[in-house]
Chain A
Amino acid sequence: MIASDRRDRRSARLLVVGADGGMRHLPRAALASLFDPGDLVIANDAATLPACLRGVHSASGEPIEVRLAGWVSAGDPTRFIALAFGAGDHRTRTEDRLSPPPLSPGDRLVFGALEAVVERPLDPPCLLRLQFLGDRATVLAGLARHGAPIQYAHVPEPLALWDVWTRIAADPIAFEPPSAGFALDWRTLAIWRRRGVDFATLTLAAGVSSTGCPALDSKLPFDEPFRIPERTAAAIVRAKANDARIVAIGTTVVRALESAAMAECGVRAGDGFARGRIVGGTQLRVVDAILTGVHQPGESHFELLRAFAPNELLERAASALVERRYRGHEFGDSLLVERTRAAAFA
Protein backbone atom coordinates (compact mmCIF):
# COMPACT_ATOMS: atom_id res chain seq x y z
CA MET A 1 0.00 0.00 0.00
CA ILE A 2 1.33 3.45 -0.73
CA ALA A 3 -0.76 5.50 1.63
CA SER A 4 1.66 8.42 1.65
CA ASP A 5 1.61 8.77 -2.13
CA ARG A 6 -2.13 8.47 -2.26
CA ARG A 7 -2.53 11.19 0.30
CA ASP A 8 -0.43 13.32 -1.99
CA ARG A 9 -2.74 12.78 -4.95
CA ARG A 10 -4.73 15.80 -3.87
CA SER A 11 -1.66 17.97 -3.39
CA ALA A 12 0.02 16.95 -6.66
CA ARG A 13 1.42 19.67 -8.89
CA LEU A 14 1.32 20.42 -12.59
CA LEU A 15 3.82 22.22 -14.79
CA VAL A 16 2.21 23.56 -17.96
CA VAL A 17 4.56 24.19 -20.89
CA GLY A 18 2.53 26.32 -23.27
CA ALA A 19 2.50 26.43 -27.06
CA ASP A 20 4.10 29.88 -26.82
CA GLY A 21 6.99 28.57 -24.72
CA GLY A 22 5.61 30.00 -21.45
CA MET A 23 5.59 27.99 -18.22
CA ARG A 24 3.04 27.92 -15.43
CA HIS A 25 3.23 26.10 -12.10
CA LEU A 26 -0.24 25.00 -10.96
CA PRO A 27 -1.83 22.64 -8.47
CA ARG A 28 -2.83 19.55 -10.47
CA ALA A 29 -6.46 20.08 -9.45
CA ALA A 30 -6.35 23.10 -11.80
CA LEU A 31 -6.46 20.59 -14.67
CA ALA A 32 -10.25 20.89 -14.47
CA SER A 33 -10.09 24.55 -15.50
CA LEU A 34 -7.66 24.06 -18.39
CA PHE A 35 -8.64 23.53 -22.05
CA ASP A 36 -11.37 25.23 -24.04
CA PRO A 37 -14.93 24.21 -24.94
CA GLY A 38 -14.70 21.82 -27.89
CA ASP A 39 -11.25 20.54 -26.94
CA LEU A 40 -11.07 16.76 -26.69
CA VAL A 41 -9.24 14.96 -23.88
CA ILE A 42 -8.42 11.31 -24.56
CA ALA A 43 -7.27 8.86 -21.90
CA ASN A 44 -6.25 5.18 -21.80
CA ASP A 45 -8.83 3.27 -19.74
CA ALA A 46 -6.88 0.01 -19.46
CA ALA A 47 -6.85 -1.55 -16.01
CA THR A 48 -3.61 -3.16 -14.89
CA LEU A 49 -2.97 -6.86 -14.38
CA PRO A 50 -1.24 -8.24 -11.30
CA ALA A 51 1.52 -9.19 -13.72
CA CYS A 52 4.29 -10.14 -11.31
CA LEU A 53 4.37 -13.74 -10.10
CA ARG A 54 6.87 -15.33 -7.76
CA GLY A 55 7.25 -19.08 -7.68
CA VAL A 56 9.48 -22.03 -8.35
CA HIS A 57 11.11 -23.43 -11.49
CA SER A 58 10.24 -27.12 -11.05
CA ALA A 59 13.20 -28.59 -12.96
CA SER A 60 15.83 -26.84 -10.81
CA GLY A 61 13.86 -26.13 -7.65
CA GLU A 62 15.17 -22.55 -7.95
CA PRO A 63 13.02 -19.51 -7.18
CA ILE A 64 11.83 -17.57 -10.21
CA GLU A 65 10.02 -14.29 -10.67
CA VAL A 66 8.04 -13.79 -13.83
CA ARG A 67 6.75 -10.45 -15.07
CA LEU A 68 4.12 -10.70 -17.77
CA ALA A 69 5.12 -8.20 -20.44
CA GLY A 70 3.20 -8.84 -23.63
CA TRP A 71 0.15 -10.62 -25.08
CA VAL A 72 0.56 -13.54 -27.44
CA SER A 73 -3.04 -12.96 -28.49
CA ALA A 74 -4.59 -9.75 -27.13
CA GLY A 75 -7.05 -10.48 -24.34
CA ASP A 76 -6.28 -14.21 -24.01
CA PRO A 77 -4.95 -14.51 -20.44
CA THR A 78 -3.52 -18.01 -20.88
CA ARG A 79 -0.43 -17.11 -22.98
CA PHE A 80 2.10 -14.33 -22.50
CA ILE A 81 5.53 -13.01 -23.36
CA ALA A 82 7.25 -12.60 -20.00
CA LEU A 83 10.47 -11.53 -18.34
CA ALA A 84 12.13 -13.80 -15.82
CA PHE A 85 14.39 -13.09 -12.86
CA GLY A 86 16.00 -15.28 -10.24
CA ALA A 87 15.79 -14.90 -6.46
CA GLY A 88 15.06 -11.48 -4.95
CA ASP A 89 12.25 -8.98 -5.16
CA HIS A 90 11.38 -5.50 -6.39
CA ARG A 91 13.47 -3.82 -3.66
CA THR A 92 16.55 -4.69 -5.72
CA ARG A 93 16.88 -2.51 -8.82
CA THR A 94 16.00 -4.58 -11.89
CA GLU A 95 19.48 -3.84 -13.24
CA ASP A 96 20.99 -5.75 -10.31
CA ARG A 97 18.60 -8.71 -10.23
CA LEU A 98 19.88 -12.29 -10.52
CA SER A 99 19.26 -14.15 -13.75
CA PRO A 100 16.61 -16.88 -13.77
CA PRO A 101 17.63 -20.55 -13.83
CA PRO A 102 18.21 -21.78 -17.41
CA LEU A 103 14.81 -22.35 -19.04
CA SER A 104 13.91 -25.05 -21.55
CA PRO A 105 10.70 -25.64 -23.51
CA GLY A 106 8.24 -27.65 -21.42
CA ASP A 107 9.65 -26.55 -18.04
CA ARG A 108 7.01 -26.12 -15.36
CA LEU A 109 6.74 -22.95 -13.34
CA VAL A 110 4.66 -23.16 -10.17
CA PHE A 111 3.09 -20.06 -8.60
CA GLY A 112 0.99 -21.42 -5.74
CA ALA A 113 -2.10 -22.96 -7.30
CA LEU A 114 -1.28 -21.41 -10.68
CA GLU A 115 1.00 -23.34 -13.01
CA ALA A 116 2.65 -22.44 -16.28
CA VAL A 117 4.73 -24.17 -18.93
CA VAL A 118 7.63 -22.53 -20.75
CA GLU A 119 6.64 -22.62 -24.43
CA ARG A 120 10.08 -21.44 -25.42
CA PRO A 121 12.87 -19.20 -24.21
CA LEU A 122 13.36 -16.10 -26.36
CA ASP A 123 16.24 -13.80 -27.09
CA PRO A 124 17.67 -12.37 -24.84
CA PRO A 125 17.45 -15.24 -22.30
CA CYS A 126 15.61 -13.11 -19.70
CA LEU A 127 12.62 -13.26 -22.09
CA LEU A 128 10.28 -16.23 -22.59
CA ARG A 129 6.92 -17.28 -23.91
CA LEU A 130 4.73 -19.13 -21.41
CA GLN A 131 1.34 -20.75 -21.21
CA PHE A 132 -0.70 -21.04 -18.02
CA LEU A 133 -2.48 -24.31 -17.41
CA GLY A 134 -6.27 -24.16 -17.24
CA ASP A 135 -9.07 -22.18 -18.85
CA ARG A 136 -9.58 -18.44 -18.81
CA ALA A 137 -11.48 -18.35 -15.50
CA THR A 138 -8.92 -20.57 -13.75
CA VAL A 139 -6.00 -18.48 -14.95
CA LEU A 140 -7.66 -15.18 -13.99
CA ALA A 141 -8.46 -16.60 -10.53
CA GLY A 142 -4.81 -17.70 -10.20
CA LEU A 143 -3.48 -14.30 -11.28
CA ALA A 144 -5.91 -12.56 -8.91
CA ARG A 145 -4.69 -14.71 -6.04
CA HIS A 146 -0.96 -15.10 -6.70
CA GLY A 147 -0.08 -12.10 -8.85
CA ALA A 148 0.98 -8.66 -7.70
CA PRO A 149 1.39 -5.42 -9.62
CA ILE A 150 4.81 -4.98 -11.22
CA GLN A 151 6.73 -2.47 -9.14
CA TYR A 152 10.15 -0.94 -8.82
CA ALA A 153 12.66 -0.16 -6.12
CA HIS A 154 11.53 3.45 -5.70
CA VAL A 155 8.32 2.30 -3.96
CA PRO A 156 9.45 -0.12 -1.24
CA GLU A 157 5.98 -1.02 0.12
CA PRO A 158 4.12 -3.75 -1.80
CA LEU A 159 1.62 -2.29 -4.25
CA ALA A 160 -1.96 -3.54 -4.32
CA LEU A 161 -4.21 -3.52 -7.38
CA TRP A 162 -6.08 -0.50 -6.01
CA ASP A 163 -2.81 1.45 -6.13
CA VAL A 164 -2.32 0.78 -9.84
CA TRP A 165 -5.85 1.07 -11.23
CA THR A 166 -6.69 4.58 -12.35
CA ARG A 167 -10.16 5.92 -11.56
CA ILE A 168 -11.25 5.14 -15.12
CA ALA A 169 -9.66 1.66 -15.24
CA ALA A 170 -11.92 -0.77 -17.14
CA ASP A 171 -10.51 -3.80 -19.01
CA PRO A 172 -7.52 -5.41 -17.25
CA ILE A 173 -5.10 -5.65 -20.17
CA ALA A 174 -2.16 -3.39 -19.21
CA PHE A 175 1.05 -4.76 -17.67
CA GLU A 176 1.98 -1.45 -16.09
CA PRO A 177 -0.48 1.31 -15.24
CA PRO A 178 -1.14 4.04 -17.81
CA SER A 179 0.06 6.29 -15.01
CA ALA A 180 -0.66 9.72 -16.50
CA GLY A 181 -4.29 8.75 -15.85
CA PHE A 182 -3.73 8.97 -12.09
CA ALA A 183 -4.20 12.71 -12.62
CA LEU A 184 -7.84 12.17 -13.59
CA ASP A 185 -10.77 11.86 -11.23
CA TRP A 186 -14.53 11.90 -11.76
CA ARG A 187 -14.80 15.42 -10.39
CA THR A 188 -12.42 16.71 -13.07
CA LEU A 189 -14.36 14.85 -15.78
CA ALA A 190 -17.64 16.34 -14.48
CA ILE A 191 -16.20 19.87 -14.58
CA TRP A 192 -14.87 19.37 -18.11
CA ARG A 193 -18.29 18.15 -19.18
CA ARG A 194 -19.96 21.25 -17.73
CA ARG A 195 -17.41 23.46 -19.47
CA GLY A 196 -17.94 21.75 -22.84
CA VAL A 197 -14.53 20.02 -22.88
CA ASP A 198 -15.12 16.62 -24.50
CA PHE A 199 -13.71 13.39 -23.05
CA ALA A 200 -13.14 10.04 -24.74
CA THR A 201 -11.07 6.93 -24.16
CA LEU A 202 -9.11 4.28 -25.95
CA THR A 203 -7.64 1.09 -24.51
CA LEU A 204 -3.97 0.25 -24.93
CA ALA A 205 -2.20 -2.62 -23.21
CA ALA A 206 0.61 -0.57 -21.73
CA GLY A 207 3.66 -2.78 -21.44
CA VAL A 208 6.83 -2.83 -19.43
CA SER A 209 8.80 0.36 -20.05
CA SER A 210 12.23 -0.71 -18.83
CA THR A 211 13.73 -3.97 -17.59
CA GLY A 212 17.34 -3.34 -16.67
CA CYS A 213 18.36 -5.86 -19.32
CA PRO A 214 20.21 -3.68 -21.88
CA ALA A 215 19.71 -6.12 -24.78
CA LEU A 216 16.00 -6.00 -24.08
CA ASP A 217 15.58 -2.32 -23.21
CA SER A 218 16.77 -1.36 -26.68
CA LYS A 219 13.71 -3.21 -28.05
CA LEU A 220 11.21 -1.49 -25.75
CA PRO A 221 8.43 -0.61 -25.86
CA PHE A 222 7.08 -3.78 -27.50
CA ASP A 223 4.33 -3.41 -30.07
CA GLU A 224 1.28 -2.82 -27.90
CA PRO A 225 -2.25 -3.79 -28.94
CA PHE A 226 -4.89 -1.08 -28.68
CA ARG A 227 -8.56 -0.47 -29.46
CA ILE A 228 -10.03 2.86 -30.48
CA PRO A 229 -13.84 3.02 -30.14
CA GLU A 230 -15.93 4.47 -33.00
CA ARG A 231 -17.12 7.23 -30.71
CA THR A 232 -13.57 8.30 -29.95
CA ALA A 233 -12.61 8.34 -33.64
CA ALA A 234 -15.74 10.40 -34.41
CA ALA A 235 -14.94 12.86 -31.61
CA ILE A 236 -11.46 13.37 -33.08
CA VAL A 237 -12.87 14.19 -36.52
CA ARG A 238 -15.31 16.63 -34.90
CA ALA A 239 -12.60 18.34 -32.84
CA LYS A 240 -10.26 18.64 -35.83
CA ALA A 241 -13.06 20.09 -37.97
CA ASN A 242 -13.64 22.74 -35.30
CA ASP A 243 -9.94 23.55 -34.93
CA ALA A 244 -10.09 22.33 -31.34
CA ARG A 245 -7.19 20.65 -29.59
CA ILE A 246 -6.66 16.95 -28.93
CA VAL A 247 -5.14 16.40 -25.48
CA ALA A 248 -3.59 12.98 -24.82
CA ILE A 249 -3.44 11.72 -21.24
CA GLY A 250 -0.15 9.85 -21.33
CA THR A 251 2.35 8.57 -23.86
CA THR A 252 0.27 5.43 -24.52
CA VAL A 253 -2.54 7.59 -25.92
CA VAL A 254 -0.09 9.46 -28.18
CA ARG A 255 1.33 6.17 -29.45
CA ALA A 256 -2.12 4.71 -30.17
CA LEU A 257 -3.51 7.82 -31.88
CA GLU A 258 -0.44 8.48 -34.01
CA SER A 259 -0.28 4.79 -35.00
CA ALA A 260 -3.92 4.95 -36.09
CA ALA A 261 -3.62 8.34 -37.80
CA MET A 262 -4.90 8.46 -41.36
CA ALA A 263 -3.48 10.46 -44.22
CA GLU A 264 -6.35 12.97 -44.28
CA CYS A 265 -7.66 13.80 -40.86
CA GLY A 266 -8.64 11.59 -38.01
CA VAL A 267 -7.81 8.06 -36.91
CA ARG A 268 -8.94 4.55 -37.78
CA ALA A 269 -11.37 3.13 -35.23
CA GLY A 270 -10.87 -0.46 -34.18
CA ASP A 271 -7.94 -2.66 -33.20
CA GLY A 272 -4.33 -1.93 -33.99
CA PHE A 273 -0.78 -2.07 -32.72
CA ALA A 274 1.30 0.83 -31.48
CA ARG A 275 4.68 0.27 -33.11
CA GLY A 276 7.98 2.07 -32.91
CA ARG A 277 9.03 5.06 -30.89
CA ILE A 278 7.94 8.66 -31.08
CA VAL A 279 10.93 10.97 -30.74
CA GLY A 280 12.15 14.41 -31.75
CA GLY A 281 11.37 14.97 -35.42
CA THR A 282 8.39 12.57 -35.45
CA GLN A 283 5.56 14.36 -37.26
CA LEU A 284 2.47 14.40 -34.99
CA ARG A 285 -0.72 14.19 -37.00
CA VAL A 286 -3.36 13.98 -34.27
CA VAL A 287 -2.26 15.04 -30.81
CA ASP A 288 -1.85 18.71 -29.83
CA ALA A 289 -0.92 18.38 -26.15
CA ILE A 290 0.20 15.67 -23.76
CA LEU A 291 -0.24 15.24 -20.02
CA THR A 292 2.46 12.99 -18.65
CA GLY A 293 4.43 12.19 -15.51
CA VAL A 294 7.73 13.75 -14.56
CA HIS A 295 10.55 11.90 -16.33
CA GLN A 296 14.26 12.45 -16.92
CA PRO A 297 15.81 13.38 -20.28
CA GLY A 298 16.93 10.11 -21.89
CA GLU A 299 13.90 8.10 -20.66
CA SER A 300 11.60 7.13 -23.51
CA HIS A 301 8.68 9.04 -21.95
CA PHE A 302 10.74 12.24 -21.98
CA GLU A 303 12.18 11.66 -25.44
CA LEU A 304 8.63 11.44 -26.79
CA LEU A 305 8.09 15.04 -25.66
CA ARG A 306 10.67 16.15 -28.23
CA ALA A 307 7.99 15.60 -30.88
CA PHE A 308 5.93 18.29 -29.08
CA ALA A 309 8.45 20.97 -28.21
CA PRO A 310 11.98 22.07 -29.15
CA ASN A 311 14.92 20.77 -27.12
CA GLU A 312 15.76 24.18 -25.69
CA LEU A 313 12.27 24.56 -24.21
CA LEU A 314 12.27 21.02 -22.81
CA GLU A 315 15.65 21.67 -21.17
CA ARG A 316 14.19 24.72 -19.46
CA ALA A 317 11.19 22.64 -18.38
CA ALA A 318 13.44 19.85 -17.05
CA SER A 319 15.45 22.42 -15.04
CA ALA A 320 12.27 23.94 -13.63
CA LEU A 321 11.04 20.48 -12.57
CA VAL A 322 14.28 19.82 -10.71
CA GLU A 323 14.50 23.30 -9.21
CA ARG A 324 10.95 23.19 -7.87
CA ARG A 325 11.37 19.60 -6.68
CA TYR A 326 8.58 18.06 -8.71
CA ARG A 327 8.14 14.38 -7.81
CA GLY A 328 8.98 11.82 -10.48
CA HIS A 329 7.79 8.26 -11.11
CA GLU A 330 4.32 6.99 -11.83
CA PHE A 331 2.74 8.26 -8.59
CA GLY A 332 4.30 11.72 -8.73
CA ASP A 333 3.45 15.11 -10.23
CA SER A 334 2.38 15.93 -13.78
CA LEU A 335 3.62 17.80 -16.80
CA LEU A 336 1.43 19.18 -19.59
CA VAL A 337 3.23 19.99 -22.83
CA GLU A 338 1.36 21.79 -25.59
CA ARG A 339 2.68 21.31 -29.09
CA THR A 340 4.81 24.31 -29.91
CA ARG A 341 3.39 26.33 -32.81
CA ALA A 342 5.19 25.44 -36.00
CA ALA A 343 6.66 28.92 -36.41
CA ALA A 344 8.38 28.69 -33.04
CA PHE A 345 9.63 25.14 -33.63
CA ALA A 346 12.84 26.14 -35.34
Chain B
Amino acid sequence: MPTDTNLKQLRVAITGGTSGLGLALVQRLTARGARVAFIARTARAVELIAKETGAYGIVGDVGRKDDIYPIALQVTGNLGGLDALVNNASSLGPTPLAPLADTECEELEQALTVNLLGPFRLTKALFGALAASARDRRGAVVINISSDAAVNAYSGWGEYSASKAALRSLTAIWAEEARAEGVAFLSLDPGDMDTPLHALAIPDADPATLKRPEDVAVEIVDALIAALPNWDARPIAARA
Protein backbone atom coordinates (compact mmCIF):
# COMPACT_ATOMS: atom_id res chain seq x y z
CA MET B 1 0.00 0.00 0.00
CA PRO B 2 1.46 3.39 -0.92
CA THR B 3 2.22 5.51 2.12
CA ASP B 4 0.89 8.97 1.63
CA THR B 5 2.09 11.64 3.96
CA ASN B 6 -0.96 13.84 3.81
CA LEU B 7 -1.88 13.11 7.40
CA LYS B 8 1.21 14.97 8.65
CA GLN B 9 -0.86 17.73 10.19
CA LEU B 10 -3.43 15.39 11.76
CA ARG B 11 -3.33 15.17 15.57
CA VAL B 12 -4.96 12.10 17.05
CA ALA B 13 -5.29 10.68 20.57
CA ILE B 14 -6.12 7.02 21.12
CA THR B 15 -6.92 5.37 24.45
CA GLY B 16 -5.79 1.79 24.98
CA GLY B 17 -2.94 2.01 22.48
CA THR B 18 -0.72 -0.90 23.48
CA SER B 19 -2.75 -3.89 22.30
CA GLY B 20 -5.52 -5.02 19.98
CA LEU B 21 -7.35 -2.43 17.91
CA GLY B 22 -5.77 0.53 19.75
CA LEU B 23 -2.26 -0.63 18.87
CA ALA B 24 -3.29 -1.26 15.25
CA LEU B 25 -4.69 2.30 15.10
CA VAL B 26 -1.47 3.78 16.52
CA GLN B 27 0.56 1.82 13.95
CA ARG B 28 -1.71 2.68 11.03
CA LEU B 29 -1.88 6.40 11.83
CA THR B 30 1.83 6.83 12.55
CA ALA B 31 2.66 4.93 9.35
CA ARG B 32 0.57 7.46 7.45
CA GLY B 33 2.44 10.33 9.05
CA ALA B 34 -0.14 11.52 11.60
CA ARG B 35 0.92 12.93 14.96
CA VAL B 36 -0.38 10.47 17.52
CA ALA B 37 -0.61 10.32 21.30
CA PHE B 38 -1.82 7.12 22.94
CA ILE B 39 -2.76 6.30 26.49
CA ALA B 40 -2.35 3.01 28.36
CA ARG B 41 -1.87 1.84 31.92
CA THR B 42 1.41 -0.08 31.80
CA ALA B 43 4.52 2.12 31.69
CA ARG B 44 6.74 -0.53 30.10
CA ALA B 45 4.31 -1.30 27.28
CA VAL B 46 3.74 2.41 26.68
CA GLU B 47 7.47 3.04 26.42
CA LEU B 48 7.94 0.13 24.02
CA ILE B 49 5.12 1.13 21.65
CA ALA B 50 6.17 4.79 21.75
CA LYS B 51 9.66 3.79 20.71
CA GLU B 52 8.41 1.45 17.97
CA THR B 53 5.94 3.86 16.42
CA GLY B 54 7.24 7.34 17.22
CA ALA B 55 3.91 8.20 18.84
CA TYR B 56 3.73 10.03 22.18
CA GLY B 57 3.06 7.47 24.90
CA ILE B 58 1.10 8.59 27.95
CA VAL B 59 0.79 6.44 31.05
CA GLY B 60 -2.69 6.73 32.55
CA ASP B 61 -5.90 4.93 33.38
CA VAL B 62 -9.09 6.33 31.85
CA GLY B 63 -10.97 4.52 34.61
CA ARG B 64 -9.41 6.82 37.21
CA LYS B 65 -10.95 10.26 37.52
CA ASP B 66 -7.69 11.79 38.81
CA ASP B 67 -5.81 10.63 35.71
CA ILE B 68 -8.09 12.36 33.18
CA TYR B 69 -6.81 15.95 33.25
CA PRO B 70 -3.15 14.90 33.49
CA ILE B 71 -3.82 12.80 30.36
CA ALA B 72 -5.56 15.71 28.60
CA LEU B 73 -2.68 18.03 29.49
CA GLN B 74 -0.15 15.65 27.95
CA VAL B 75 -2.27 15.04 24.84
CA THR B 76 -2.66 18.71 23.96
CA GLY B 77 0.80 19.67 25.27
CA ASN B 78 2.52 17.07 23.10
CA LEU B 79 0.40 17.43 19.98
CA GLY B 80 -0.18 21.20 20.19
CA GLY B 81 -3.92 20.69 19.84
CA LEU B 82 -6.24 17.85 18.89
CA ASP B 83 -8.26 16.97 15.78
CA ALA B 84 -9.44 13.47 16.65
CA LEU B 85 -10.00 11.43 19.78
CA VAL B 86 -10.57 7.68 19.63
CA ASN B 87 -12.02 6.30 22.86
CA ASN B 88 -10.95 2.71 22.33
CA ALA B 89 -9.91 1.47 25.79
CA SER B 90 -12.50 -0.72 27.40
CA SER B 91 -12.89 -3.30 30.10
CA LEU B 92 -14.70 -6.58 29.71
CA GLY B 93 -15.14 -7.00 33.45
CA PRO B 94 -14.20 -10.22 35.25
CA THR B 95 -13.74 -13.33 33.13
CA PRO B 96 -14.99 -15.93 32.59
CA LEU B 97 -18.09 -13.91 31.76
CA ALA B 98 -20.84 -14.30 34.31
CA PRO B 99 -24.64 -13.94 34.21
CA LEU B 100 -25.97 -10.72 35.73
CA ALA B 101 -27.40 -12.58 38.72
CA ASP B 102 -23.84 -13.62 39.61
CA THR B 103 -22.36 -10.18 38.93
CA GLU B 104 -21.28 -8.07 41.89
CA CYS B 105 -22.63 -4.49 41.90
CA GLU B 106 -19.05 -3.21 42.15
CA GLU B 107 -18.12 -5.10 39.00
CA LEU B 108 -20.89 -3.36 37.05
CA GLU B 109 -19.79 -0.04 38.54
CA GLN B 110 -16.24 -0.72 37.41
CA ALA B 111 -17.34 -1.54 33.83
CA LEU B 112 -19.36 1.69 33.70
CA THR B 113 -16.43 3.66 35.12
CA VAL B 114 -14.00 2.48 32.44
CA ASN B 115 -16.32 2.11 29.44
CA LEU B 116 -18.74 5.00 29.98
CA LEU B 117 -17.41 7.56 32.48
CA GLY B 118 -13.84 7.28 31.19
CA PRO B 119 -14.70 8.32 27.61
CA PHE B 120 -17.15 10.93 28.92
CA ARG B 121 -14.56 12.53 31.20
CA LEU B 122 -11.73 12.48 28.68
CA THR B 123 -13.95 13.85 25.91
CA LYS B 124 -15.13 16.62 28.22
CA ALA B 125 -11.56 17.52 29.21
CA LEU B 126 -10.49 17.61 25.55
CA PHE B 127 -13.66 19.17 24.13
CA GLY B 128 -12.19 22.68 24.30
CA ALA B 129 -9.22 21.55 22.19
CA LEU B 130 -11.48 19.72 19.72
CA ALA B 131 -13.79 22.74 19.39
CA ALA B 132 -10.74 25.00 18.88
CA SER B 133 -9.63 22.75 16.04
CA ALA B 134 -13.12 22.93 14.53
CA ARG B 135 -13.14 26.76 14.79
CA ASP B 136 -9.79 26.72 13.01
CA ARG B 137 -11.57 24.98 10.10
CA ARG B 138 -9.63 21.78 10.66
CA GLY B 139 -12.76 19.93 11.79
CA ALA B 140 -12.77 17.60 14.77
CA VAL B 141 -14.08 14.13 15.47
CA VAL B 142 -14.56 11.81 18.42
CA ILE B 143 -14.83 8.11 17.65
CA ASN B 144 -16.21 5.92 20.39
CA ILE B 145 -15.51 2.24 19.81
CA SER B 146 -18.74 0.33 20.25
CA SER B 147 -19.79 -3.30 19.92
CA ASP B 148 -22.72 -5.30 18.65
CA ALA B 149 -23.20 -6.05 22.36
CA ALA B 150 -24.39 -2.43 22.61
CA VAL B 151 -27.54 -3.37 20.70
CA ASN B 152 -27.92 -7.16 21.09
CA ALA B 153 -28.48 -9.18 24.24
CA TYR B 154 -25.87 -11.91 24.73
CA SER B 155 -25.96 -14.01 27.89
CA GLY B 156 -22.97 -13.32 30.11
CA TRP B 157 -22.14 -9.96 28.50
CA GLY B 158 -24.28 -7.85 30.85
CA GLU B 159 -21.72 -5.42 32.25
CA TYR B 160 -19.93 -4.85 28.98
CA SER B 161 -23.19 -4.67 27.05
CA ALA B 162 -24.86 -2.18 29.36
CA SER B 163 -21.77 0.07 29.42
CA LYS B 164 -21.41 -0.03 25.62
CA ALA B 165 -25.16 0.65 25.13
CA ALA B 166 -24.86 3.67 27.41
CA LEU B 167 -21.76 4.86 25.55
CA ARG B 168 -23.60 4.51 22.24
CA SER B 169 -26.45 6.64 23.58
CA LEU B 170 -24.02 9.21 24.96
CA THR B 171 -22.29 9.38 21.57
CA ALA B 172 -25.59 9.97 19.75
CA ILE B 173 -26.58 12.83 22.06
CA TRP B 174 -23.15 14.36 21.95
CA ALA B 175 -23.27 14.19 18.14
CA GLU B 176 -26.46 16.28 18.19
CA GLU B 177 -25.19 18.80 20.71
CA ALA B 178 -21.70 19.26 19.27
CA ARG B 179 -22.68 19.48 15.60
CA ALA B 180 -22.99 23.26 15.71
CA GLU B 181 -19.51 23.49 17.25
CA GLY B 182 -18.18 21.47 14.31
CA VAL B 183 -17.21 18.44 16.37
CA ALA B 184 -18.45 15.15 14.90
CA PHE B 185 -19.16 12.09 17.04
CA LEU B 186 -19.18 8.55 15.68
CA SER B 187 -19.99 5.24 17.31
CA LEU B 188 -18.20 2.47 15.40
CA ASP B 189 -18.62 -1.26 15.90
CA PRO B 190 -15.41 -2.98 14.77
CA GLY B 191 -16.95 -6.48 14.79
CA ASP B 192 -15.37 -9.59 16.31
CA MET B 193 -11.59 -9.22 16.18
CA ASP B 194 -8.64 -11.39 17.03
CA THR B 195 -7.60 -9.36 20.10
CA PRO B 196 -6.61 -10.06 23.71
CA LEU B 197 -10.02 -8.78 24.84
CA HIS B 198 -11.86 -11.17 22.56
CA ALA B 199 -9.68 -14.07 23.69
CA LEU B 200 -10.62 -13.33 27.29
CA ALA B 201 -14.32 -13.33 26.42
CA ILE B 202 -14.37 -16.34 24.09
CA PRO B 203 -11.13 -18.28 24.64
CA ASP B 204 -12.05 -21.10 22.19
CA ALA B 205 -13.01 -18.87 19.23
CA ASP B 206 -11.40 -19.90 15.93
CA PRO B 207 -9.02 -17.02 15.02
CA ALA B 208 -9.69 -17.72 11.33
CA THR B 209 -13.28 -16.51 11.79
CA LEU B 210 -12.17 -13.25 13.41
CA LYS B 211 -11.22 -9.96 11.74
CA ARG B 212 -7.64 -8.80 12.03
CA PRO B 213 -7.31 -5.57 14.05
CA GLU B 214 -4.96 -4.22 11.34
CA ASP B 215 -7.79 -4.46 8.78
CA VAL B 216 -10.31 -2.85 11.10
CA ALA B 217 -7.84 -0.04 11.82
CA VAL B 218 -7.78 0.80 8.09
CA GLU B 219 -11.58 1.14 8.08
CA ILE B 220 -11.61 3.25 11.22
CA VAL B 221 -8.90 5.62 9.97
CA ASP B 222 -10.88 6.05 6.73
CA ALA B 223 -14.03 6.83 8.73
CA LEU B 224 -12.06 9.26 10.87
CA ILE B 225 -10.75 11.18 7.87
CA ALA B 226 -14.15 11.15 6.19
CA ALA B 227 -15.61 12.79 9.30
CA LEU B 228 -13.20 15.73 9.01
CA PRO B 229 -14.87 17.82 6.31
CA ASN B 230 -11.85 19.91 5.38
CA TRP B 231 -9.34 17.13 5.46
CA ASP B 232 -8.09 15.94 2.12
CA ALA B 233 -6.08 12.79 2.62
CA ARG B 234 -6.04 11.79 -1.03
CA PRO B 235 -2.74 11.85 -2.84
CA ILE B 236 -2.15 15.30 -4.30
CA ALA B 237 -2.59 14.01 -7.89
CA ALA B 238 -6.08 12.74 -7.12
CA ARG B 239 -7.39 16.03 -5.76
CA ALA B 240 -9.90 17.96 -7.81
Contacts and interface: CB of A to CB of B under 8 A. Distances in A.
Interface stretch (A136-144, A240-248, A291-299): A136-144
Q: How large is the interface on A (under 10, 10 to 19, 20 to 34, 35 or more residues)?
A: 20 to 34
Nearest to B60: A144
Given A166-B128, A167-B128, A190-B180, A172 B136 contact: no
B73 A137 contact: no
B74 A140 contact: yes
Which of A143, A169, A186, A193 has the most chain B CB atoms inside 10 A of its CB? A169
Nearest to A229: B136
A201 interface: yes
Interface string A223-258: 000000101000000000000000000000000000
B137 A144 contact: no
B125 interface: yes
B211 interface: no
Given A77-B77, A141-B74, A229-B136, A168 B131 contact: yes
Nearest to A163: B69
A201 B56 CA distance: 27
A45 B74 contact: no
B132 interface: yes
B70 A145 contact: yes
Contact of A47 (B76, B137, B181): B76
A180 to B, nearest CB: 15
Nearest to B59: A141
Interface in A287-315: none
Interface in B113-143: 125, 127-129, 131-132, 135-137
Contacts of A45: 128, 132
A34 to B, nearest CB: 20
B69 A160 contact: yes
B171 to A, nearest CB: 17
B81 interface: yes
A161 interface: yes
Contacts of B129: 47, 169-171
Contacts of A200: 135
A43 to B, nearest CB: 10
Contact of A144 (B70, B81, B135, B136): B70
A130 B231 CA distance: 40
Contacts of B68: 162
A144 to B, nearest CB: 4
B80 interface: yes
Contacts of A166: 128
Interface string A80-119: 0000000000000000000000000000000000000000
A134 to B, nearest CB: 13
Q: When A and B form their complex, which 7 residue pairs have the shortest distance between CB atoms, in order from nearest? A: A144-B70, A161-B69, A170-B132, A170-B129, A169-B128, A140-B77, A170-B128
27 contacts: A45-B132, A77-B77, A137-B50, A137-B58, A137-B74, A137-B78, A140-B77, A141-B74, A144-B74, A160-B66, A160-B69, A161-B69, A162-B68, A165-B69, A165-B128, A166-B128, A168-B131, A168-B132, A170-B76, A171-B81, A172-B76, A172-B77, A186-B127, A186-B177, A190-B180, A231-B135, A231-B136
